[in-house]
């Protein structure tokens, strides 16, 4: 019985959105302990033998998605007033006019934050990071946690003024203290990186937990990797899997792939190969090359899913186009009949052409 091998994860602060989780159909092996946080989002290479039943691959690393350094989403004011209502409907010029009046007449901090958001994202007005930073600053001084977070992101990115990590850190800490999960998550990344702040994995884990408990899927995925490897917290595979499940329910692709591995192997959760394959298929359709590669292995081998070599090799070719080659799958592909190979190649072209 072949199994999907779980990933070893190297955490780092410059996490990218397309992090690739890696799976193998080879028997389980001892995983390499987590490396010291370095550079790559967030992220996240395998093979199938001539006979799908004898694949061999060695997945290496994966990592959580990166924190954006662009301005924050619109303030999460629960009162859908005229300003926010206009924003929601895409009436940005109206939102701007209403917000500027409210900000000037009443000094409303959330109206100021809205103005910063509109300037930062060129909504109803020309993009102007200097003006955006100014309005975010006013909203921040008025106590709005979203303004604090957005201004911190601008300061980290050096937009609207010189980069200022020290100021950004203070703003993130203030926003996180007011309960902003995005601020807690990004502050955790700084503690994890160990450049702007002294590296403190325990503190990073605490902040990831705050954001994860608030439903932030990136934080849930990051904390899952901590529990999986025992980084900053006691190792706990079951907690890791529960967090992966929560993040996957929020469509975090990296979490979907790793949760699929856990389900396939029955690691920290009851074994469920059909659910695992469904998750791999979902992640593959969301353009995860690793999910595409591992789905190809499952379909070609017929383990956990009915054998479908045409569909399997389609995903192999799609993953290969994205840079996730698999020499042993190439060998298996070469053994297909000319007709089946042509069908697989046609299916891959059709998928790629639709993207």
Write down the domain spans for the chain: 1-65+252-355, 82-199
Sign of the dihedral defined by the CA atoms of residues 106, 108, 113, 118, in that order: negative
| Interval 25-31 mean pLDDT | 34
CB 110 within 8 A of CB 76: no
| Interval 263-286 mean pLDDT | 96
Q: pLDDT tens for residues 72-119?
A: 444 444 434 889 899 999 999 999 999 999 999 999 999 999 999 999
For 291-303, give one letter per residue: b (16+ CB within 10 A) or e: bbbbbbbbbbbeb
Q: Specify the pLDDT at position 69.
A: 37
Query: How many of the other CB atoms lie within 10 Å of CB of 57?
Result: 23
Q: What is the mean pLDDT of the chain?
A: 82
Using DSSP's 3-state secondary structure scheme, residue 12 falls into strand
Which of the two residues, 289 and 48, has the higher pLDDT score? 289
Find, among 6, 118, 125, the residue nearest to 58 by Cα. 6
- The pTM of the full predicted model, rounded to 2 decimals, is 0.74
For residue 124, is pLDDT > 80? yes
CB 354 within 8 A of CB 314: no
Does residue 101 come out as left (phi exceeding 0), alpha (psi in the -120 to 50 range) or beta?
alpha
Among the CATH numbers 1.25.40, 3.40.50, 1.20.120, 1.10.150, which is that of 1-65+252-355?
1.25.40
Q: Specify the pLDDT at position 354.
A: 65
Highest mean pLDDT among 13-22, 274-283, 298-307: 274-283
Which pair of structure tokens corresponds to residue 72?
A: 């924050």
Q: Specify the pLDDT at position 127.
A: 97
Instruction: Label residue 304 by pLDDT band (50, 70, 90).
Output: confident
Q: Specify the pLDDT at position 316.
A: 96
Query: How many of the other CB atoms lie within 10 Å of CB of 352?
Result: 13
DSSP state of 21: -
Instruction: Label residue 355 by pLDDT band (50, 70, 90).
Output: low
CATH superfamily of 82-199: Tetratricopeptide repeat domain (1.25.40.10)
CB 10 within 8 A of CB 40: yes
| Interval 19-48 mean pLDDT | 35
> How far apart, in whole angstroms, are the C-alpha atoms of residue 33 and residue 302?
31
Q: pLDDT tens for residues 138-192?
A: 999 999 999 999 999 999 999 999 999 999 999 999 999 999 999 999 999 999 9
For residue 55, is pLDDT > 60? no
Give 45-111 as a DSSP string: -----SSTTS---------PPPPP-SPPPSP--SS--HHHHHHHTT-HHHHHHHHHHHHHHH--HHH
For residue 37, is pLDDT > 70? no
Instruction: Say if 1-65+252-355 and 82-199 have the same CATH topology.
Output: yes
**What's the burial of 149, exposed, middle or buried (CB within 10 Å: 0-12/13-18/19+)?**
buried
> How far apart, in whole angstroms, are the C-alpha atoms of residue 117 and residue 123?
8
Q: Specify the pLDDT at position 25.
A: 39
């Amino acid at each position: 019985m072949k199994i999907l091998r779980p990933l070893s994860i190297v955490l780092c602060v410059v996490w990218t959105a397309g992090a690739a989780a890696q799976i193998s159909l080879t028997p389980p092996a001892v995983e390499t302990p987590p490396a010291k946080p370095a550079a790559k989002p967030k992220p996240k290479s395998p093979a199938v033998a001539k006979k799908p039943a004898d694949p061999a691959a060695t997945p290496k690393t994966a990592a959580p998605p990166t924190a954006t350094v662009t301005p924050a989403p619109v303030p999460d004011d629960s009162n859908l007033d005229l300003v926010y209502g206009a924003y929601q409907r895409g009436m940005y010029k109206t939102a701007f006019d209403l917000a500027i009046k409210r900000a000037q007449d009443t000094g409303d901090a959330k109206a100021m934050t809205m103005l910063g958001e509109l300037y930062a994202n060129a909504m109803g007005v020309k993009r102007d990071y200097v003006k955006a930073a100014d309005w975010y600053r006013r909203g921040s001084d008025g106590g709005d946690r979203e303004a604090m977070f957005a201004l911190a992101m601008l300061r980290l990115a050096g937009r609207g003024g010189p980069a200022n990590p020290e100021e950004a850190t203070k703003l993130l800490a203030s926003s996180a203290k007011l309960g902003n999960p995005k601020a807690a998550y990004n502050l955790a990344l700084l503690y994890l990186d160990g450049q702007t702040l002294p590296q403190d994995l325990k503190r990073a884990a605490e902040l990831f937990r705050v954001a994860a408990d608030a439903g932030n899927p990136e934080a849930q995925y990051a904390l899952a990797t901590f529990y999986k490897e025992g980084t900053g917290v006691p190792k706990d595979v079951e907690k890791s899997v529960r967090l992966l499940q929560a993040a996957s329910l929020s469509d975090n692709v990296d979490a979907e792939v790793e949760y699929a591995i856990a389900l396939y192997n029955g690691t920290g959760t009851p074994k469920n190969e059909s659910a695992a394959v469904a998750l791999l298929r979902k992640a593959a359709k969301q353009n995860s090359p690793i999910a595409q590669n591992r789905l190809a292995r499952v379909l070609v081998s017929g383990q956990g899913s009915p054998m479908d070599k045409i569909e399997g090799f389609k995903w192999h070719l799609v993953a290969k186009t994205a840079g996730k080659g698999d020499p042993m799958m190439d060998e298996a592909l070469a053994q297909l009949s000319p007709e089946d190979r042509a069908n697989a190649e046609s299916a891959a072209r059709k998928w790629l052409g639709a993207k």
